[in-house]
């Protein structure tokens, strides 16, 4: 594990931590937003690929609107309207998307400097203290996000505790491209998603409150589909591709999603204990200058944002995202790479020269 200065923003000095496992897999995480800036894995032929989109400078992370790799909170996704009610009290929110709040507000967790806690060569934790009233949310909250590399996986664990009832719904906003962050569209990727239902939204992407079956629609990904087969579907025109909250079903020990590159040289299995995932295929990405000078365009990545339901505080039939005072909030998401494990588990051969 090593740490280096990554630049300075109005929020403060930013550092980048690099963690590695014994097999060469590497992750780079910033103290700004506890953001995953780089994730390098091997394909089945032993070639390295950096498979998440990102920026080259701290300033770009501080002003960009893409949330590349960020830890998003207190409440990810959208909360409708100017306020919410909790235990009979109304809390005005700091808004940043018209009359709604997106991803915790204009200076949510993704815009703040986290304290880095190196835990070893392959593990690092990041802590943040969020004071009562931060972006409109009640309670003094302590949060920790831990990134850990195992033999073939990246695991992200979240913990939080508040001294007053508040909302808590954390996620990671990485954009994955298994062909490499600079390789163009993910239209040729295949996605299988273990979700029977989704939550429809209006034009402002706020849930209507309905929970609807995916059957018969382009959102039915239960058997797996090439993303290019659905990205231009008329049903997705308003969202420029996928930007939907799917209700996860099935055994939590089984992957909720399986994503593969065009030749299946890398296959990513995703696991979570959260009830839902926002699948976003970056339809709004346009001419964004990314890492190594790459110019990111529409559909160049796919986000798998594990989460509670969007705007759950306004829908009594949605699973609650309320964190009671004194209780610990915990969640874990795992990304396992099968191409990586295959190449690294091959039996070594001795060659005489």
CATH number at residue 166: 2.70.98.10
Among all chains, which residue has been given the structure tokens 């009830």?
275
Give the domain extent around 12: 2-344
- Asked if residue 166 lies in contact with residue 74, where contact means CB atoms within 8 angstroms, the answer is yes
SS3 of the chain: CEEEEEEEECCEEEEEEEEECCCCCEEEEECECCCEEEEEEECCCCCEEECECCCCCHHHHHHCCCCCCCEECCECCEECCCEEEECCEEEECCCCECCEEECCCCCCHHHCECEEEEEECCEEEEEEEECCCHHHCCCCEEEEEEEEECCCEEEEEEEEEECCCEECECEECCEECCCCCCCCCCCCCEEEECEEEECCECCCCCECCCCEECCCCCCCCCCCEEHHHCCCCHHHCCCCCCEEEEEECCCCCCCCEEEECCCCCCEEEEEECCCEEEEECCCCCCCEECHHHCEECCCCCEEEEEECCCCHHHCCCCCCCEECCCCEEEEEEEEEEHHHHHHHCCCCCCCCC
What is the total count of domains within the chain? 1
Asked, for residue 350, whether it belongs to a domain, the answer is no
Considering 44, 161, 269, 305, which one is annotated as catalytic?
A: 305
Residue 73 domain flag:
yes
Q: Is 210 a catalytic residue?
A: no
Burial of 199 from C-beta contacts in 10 A (0-12 / 13-18 / 19+): buried
Q: Are 238 and 220 in contact (CB under 8 A)?
A: no
Q: How confident is the prediction along the chain (353 residues), in pLDDT tens digits per residue?
A: 789 999 999 999 999 999 999 999 999 999 999 999 999 999 888 899 999 999 999 999 999 999 999 999 999 999 999 999 999 999 999 999 999 999 999 999 999 999 999 899 999 999 999 999 999 999 999 999 999 999 999 999 999 999 999 999 999 999 999 999 999 999 999 999 999 999 999 999 999 999 999 999 999 999 999 999 999 999 999 999 999 999 999 888 999 999 999 999 999 999 999 999 999 999 999 999 999 999 999 999 999 999 999 999 999 999 999 999 999 999 999 999 987 544 454 443 333 33
**Domain for residue 205, yes or no?**
yes
Question: Looking at the domain assignment, is residue 349 inside a domain?
Answer: no
Is the separation of the CB atoms in 53 and 175 below 8 Å?
yes
Reported pTM:
0.95
121 is catalytic: no
Q: Which of 144, 137, 136 is nearest to 160 (CA)?
A: 144
What pLDDT, on the 0 to 100 scale, is given for residue 43? Answer: 87
Q: Within 10 Å of residue 57's Cβ, how many Cβ atoms?
A: 15
Residue 195 lies in a domain: yes
Instruction: Single out the catalytic residue among 173, 181, 299, 315.
Output: 173
Residue 351 maps to a domain: no
In a domain, 246, yes or no: yes
pLDDT for 345 equals: 47
What pLDDT score does 187 carry?
A: 98
- Phi/psi for 229 (5° steps) reads -75, -20
Q: Is the peptide bond before 74 cis (omega within 30 degrees of 0)?
A: yes
Phi-psi region at 239: left, alpha or beta (left = phi > 0; alpha = psi -120 to 50):
alpha
Does residue 353 lie in a domain region? no
């Amino acid at each position: 594990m090593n740490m280096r200065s990554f630049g300075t923003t109005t929020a403060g000095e930013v550092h980048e931590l690099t963690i590695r496992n014994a097999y060469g897999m590497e992750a780079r995480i910033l103290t700004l937003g506890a953001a995953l800036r780089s994730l390098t894995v091997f394909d089945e032929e032993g070639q390295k690929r950096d498979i998440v989109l990102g920026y080259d400078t701290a300033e770009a992370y501080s002003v960009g609107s893409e949330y590349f790799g960020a830890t998003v909170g207190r409440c990810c996704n959208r909360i409708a309207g100017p306020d919410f009610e909790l235990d009979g009290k109304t809390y005005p929110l700091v808004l940043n998307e018209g009359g709604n709040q997106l991803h915790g507000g204009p200076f949510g967790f993704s815009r703040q400097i986290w304290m880095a806690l190196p835990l070893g060569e392959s593990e690092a934790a990041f802590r943040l203290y969020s004071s009562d009233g931060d972006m409109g949310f009640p309670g003094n909250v302590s949060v920790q996000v831990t990134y850990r590399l195992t033999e073939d996986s990246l695991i992200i664990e979240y913990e939080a505790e508040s001294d007053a009832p508040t909302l808590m719904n954390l996620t990671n906003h990485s954009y994955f491209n298994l062909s490499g962050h600079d390789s163009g569209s993910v239209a040729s990727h295949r996605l299988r998603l273990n979700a029977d239902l989704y939550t429809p939204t209006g034009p402002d992407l706020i849930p209507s409150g309905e929970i609807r079956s995916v059957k018969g629609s382009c959102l039915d990904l239960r058997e797996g589909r090439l993303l290019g087969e659905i990205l231009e579907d008329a049903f997705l025109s308003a969202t420029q591709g996928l930007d939907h909250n799917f209700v996860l079903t099935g055994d939590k020990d089984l992957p909720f999603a399986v994503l593969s590159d065009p030749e299946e040289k890398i296959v990513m299995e995703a696991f979570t204990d959260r009830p839902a995932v926002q699948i976003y295929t970056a339809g709004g990405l346009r001419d964004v200058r990314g890492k190594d000078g790459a110019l990111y365009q529409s559909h160049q990545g796919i986000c798998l944002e594990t989460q509670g339901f969007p705007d759950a505080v306004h829908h009594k039939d949605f699973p609650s995202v309320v964190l009671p005072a004194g209780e610990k909030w915990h969640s874990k998401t795992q990304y396992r790479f099968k191409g990586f494990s295959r190449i690294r588990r091959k039996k070594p051969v001795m060659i005489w020269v």
